[in-house]
Every structure is written in structure tokens, then in C-alpha cells.
A = this chain, B = another copy of it.
Amino acid sequence: MANDKKMVEAITSMEEDFAQWYTDIVKKAELVEYSGIKGCMIIRPAGYAIWELIQKELDRRFKETGVENVYMPMFIPESLLNKEKEHVEGFAPEVAWVTHGGGEKLQERMCVRPTSETLFCDFYARIIGSYRDLPKVYNQWCSVVRWEKTTRPFLRSMEFLWQEGHTAHATAEEAEERTIQMLNLYADFCEEVLAIPMVRGRKTDKEKFAGAEATYTIEALMHDGKALQSGTSHNFGSGFAKAFEIRYTDKENKLQYVHQTSWGMTTRLIGAVIMVHGDNSGLVLPPAIAPVQAVVIPVRQDKEGVLDKAYELGAMLKDFRVKVDDSDRSPGWKFAEHEMRGVPLRIEIGPKDIAAGQAVIARRDTGEKMTVLLSELAEKTRELLSVMQKEMLERAREHRDQHTYTAVHMEELLDIAEHKSGFIKAMWCGDVACEEALKEKAGVTSRCMPFVQEEVAKTCVCCGKPAKTLVYWGKAY
């Protein structure tokens, strides 16, 4: 790749220190700046523009399924948070409390939302009366606060951006259907837009959301072989409805509890994109969420006509998110800069290219360079972006599959956990004791019970008793 040396100097290589490599990219690609507030990050334009593209596409897909957006207050009075027992136990330890407002001590303290189930439940109890009011399929885009001890940009921070969908349905079947529908929507989005393959499955009881009957998850494998939970969808059954008295009169005029779901994805998706696609030259962005899809870089821009030609190329590519870098930096500096920022295509144009009626295109993901006639530039750009989007997913899937291992016996699992890194497929008896033993002995947690089941053995990898289900195990972010 061009400027390999320069980039190697600029960031730590991922083989040397993956965590430092991640931090270097986040900082040098100007995605995030640390703030003076412990555990809070500032999302800079290069990072926020990725989030805007994620939002736009996710929101479009949501709306196609009938989702409507709302905005709820950011504060939750303590008494409201306390209404559902399991839920409050899950969240109370990590909330931030507002105790004073307008110069006075509050009669009741309020937490900054760590998630808004309780607010939505209170809201639904107010507005749902009859079967005519159902279903409610609401979502909000907002920030939430969870008082984390150890934080990392995008992956775990005290405040983060997300969307949280909250729905209420007349029947249990409809709620379950919506739960699965949103999980699949998430997985399709990640695969088609972020080019990240997902394992779709269900969380064990130990790992499910506080207050949920069932939690479904999509799990991705990062370049270092660690797993990242990328989105979750919960079926609450009638648990919250009973705690909050959310009832409706059905067509037979009988009072019934509603059935609820919630589902969310966060800015941690940006962390996933970095850790799945990035390389030692920096970020590599899938074209679908690249704020700049192609950058035109004039070579010898001091020569008459070069800069004008660069602008002309920019105009030819107006159907894409294109940028002409006309700054007074050297071409080499620009190459490295836009590689660091993960711009999918670099288009070089210099005096010789102009004379020949052509330009040079370089792909960010493979480093491949090719010469293209200017008359074919727009078409070639479209083709390359499309190919790149597809191949990035394929490469990520290959990497994931190559780092997915199968263990039948405990020794085998311990060996893999110690010497390799990736998903470990192994059978499980369903006993939480085995789950805990695996965590303690091998340092792995159950990522999910995949929808696509296989029987890799008859017995539990841990206790040897008859197995109930296949589980993906792994070390996780």
C-alpha cells in the first residue's frame, strides 16, 4: 500500500498491541476527542457523520416496519425506576442521580435514563385503553448514561448514543414476532450496510436483560478474535405490564395485559466497524457508511489546470459522497490522511493523467490501483464501491469462520481458549453452573444459543451430561 512506512510510524500495529491500535485509530482518524468529563467522549465530525449514516439507514428500515419515533424525558424519578424489581436491580448500581435543580434540593431524586423501559411503561399505561390503541411501535434516538468504571471510546462509555425501540402488543405471539423481526432487521443491517457478519441467537438466562423473558442478540467477531454484542432485542412478556398496570380492553370487552418488547443498537457499532475492517494504515470504511466515499487528490496541483481538472472530477462524481482535497498539503500527506480516515476510494489526477484522459483509482481495502479513462470514471466508481461493499463482508465472514472453533470436551475448549482466539462452538446442558465454570476456568462467556443449531456432540462440554443446545462461547468486549 502507498505510504506504508509513514503509516507504520503513525500508529501502533494491530499485531503488536490491538488495544493501542484501536485507540490510535480512534484518535488519529479524528473520530473522537477525549473530554474533561471522565468516561465521556466527544464525537467529532468524522465520527458523527458515520453515526448519521447509520441512523439514516436504520431509521428508514425501522419506518418500513411501522416504527414511529418519539422523545421521552431524560430523567426517571426514583419511584418509577423502582417499579419493576429485576429491572431496577440491573440498573440502579450504574445510574447517575440528579439531586438538586433550580437551586433547590429535590423532594425525590431522579436518575438520568440508563434505558427508558420504565418511562415507556408509564407512558403506555396513560395512552393505551382499548385494542384499537394497539400495537404501539415506538422508538427514540437519544443518549443514555451508565456509570461504567472502565471506558473505551464507542465500546463502553459513560454516556452513549443509541436508539431504543419499545413496543406494546395485544398478544404474546405478536410480541415475540416483533422481537425476532427487529433482531433480524439489525442483523441484515449489519451485514448489508456495515459489512459485518452476525451470529443470530438467544441469550442464556444468565446473560439476558434485566426484566426480560427472553433476550435475542447478534454477535460479531472482531479482528482480534474477541466477540462484540452488537444489538439486542428483548421480549418482556407481561412482566412490565403487570408492574405498571398497562391493560387494554379486548374486543370481548375484557381487560388484558399488553405484551412488550424493546430493542436497541448503539454507537458501539462504530467500534465494531473499526475492529472488523481496520488495518495498520487506519480505518477502512464500508462505502455504505463512509462520509466520504471517494477523495480526489490532485498531484502537482501547482501546475496549471490540475486543480481545475480535480474539481471537474469532483463534479463528475456528484452522485457519490465525494471530496476534492485542495488543501496545501503534499499528495503523500493527503494519501496517508485519507487512508487513516478510511475513505474507500482515492482518485489521483496529475498532469500525465490529464494528458492521457485518465485517472488512477486506489481501493482502500485491498490497496489495488488501476487506471481508468475519465469517460468511465463515474461508472467505475459505482462498480468499485459496490464490489468493495460486498468483498468487505466476504472477507469479514472468512475471518470469522476461520476463527470459529468447535470443542467437544473440556480440555479441548480450554486449549482453544488459551491458544487461539475466536468463537468456540460447544454443547451445553442448560445448567448455569456449567456456564459459570466455563467463565472461571476458560475465561469465556456464553455469547448466544444460535438460531442455526448444530449438534457437534451429544453431551455438555463442561459436565458431560446430555446436551440441550449449541452455544457460541467467547471472550467479549
Contact = CB atoms under 8 A, between A and B. Distances in A.
Interface of A: 33, 35-37, 40-45, 48-49, 51-52, 68-77, 80, 93-103, 110, 112, 119, 122-123, 126-127, 138, 142-143, 145, 147-149, 158-159, 161
Contacts of A142: 143
Contacts of A103: 93, 147
Contacts of A110: 37
A interface secondary structure, majority: mixed
Contacts of A51: 71
Given A93-B102, A93-B103, A42 B159 contact: no
Given A94-B102, A99-B100, A33 B71 contact: no
A55 to B, nearest CB: 11
A132 to B, nearest CB: 8
Contacts of A37: 73, 75-77, 110
Contacts of A44: 70
Given A43-B71, A70-B48, A36 B77 contact: yes
Interface centre among A77, A102, A126 (most CB of B within 10 A): A102
- Which A-B residue pairs are the 9 nearest by beta carbons? A102-B147, A40-B73, A45-B68, A43-B71, A97-B100, A96-B101, A101-B147, A99-B99, A37-B73
A94 to B, nearest CB: 6
Contact of A143 (B49, B52, B74, B119): B74
Contacts of A149: 102
B159 A74 contact: yes
Nearest to A97: B100
Contact of A97 (B36, B99, B122, B148): B99
A370 B455 CA distance: 68
A35 B98 contact: no
A96 B100 CA distance: 6
Contacts of A77: 36-37
A168 to B, nearest CB: 14
Contact of A69 (B52, B76, B122): B52
Given A97-B99, A100-B99, A122-B36, A45 B70 contact: yes
A99 B98 CA distance: 6
B69 A45 contact: yes
A48 B35 contact: no
Contact of A98 (B52, B69, B93, B96): B96
B41 A73 contact: yes
Given A33-B123, A74-B159, A123-B35, A138 B45 contact: yes
Nearest to A40: B73
Contact of A42 (B70, B75, B99): B70
A101 B145 CA distance: 10
B143 A72 contact: no
A113 to B, nearest CB: 11
Nearest to A59: B52
Given A48-B70, A49-B69, A98-B112, 19 more contacts: A33-B123, A33-B127, A35-B119, A37-B77, A40-B73, A42-B72, A44-B70, A45-B68, A48-B71, A71-B143, A73-B159, A74-B112, A74-B143, A74-B159, A95-B101, A96-B100, A97-B101, A99-B99, A112-B112
A299 B127 CA distance: 28
Interface centre among A40, A96, A123 (most CB of B within 10 A): A96
A401 to B, nearest CB: 35
Nearest to A291: B68
A48 B72 CA distance: 10
A153 to B, nearest CB: 12
A65 to B, nearest CB: 14
Contacts of A100: 96-97, 99
Contact of A145 (B70, B74, B93, B119): B74
A161 B73 CA distance: 10
Contacts of A127: 33
Given A37-B75, A80-B36, A102-B149, A70 B97 contact: no
Contacts of A145: 74
Contacts of A95: 101-102
B94 A70 contact: no
A347 B76 CA distance: 43
A48 B73 contact: no
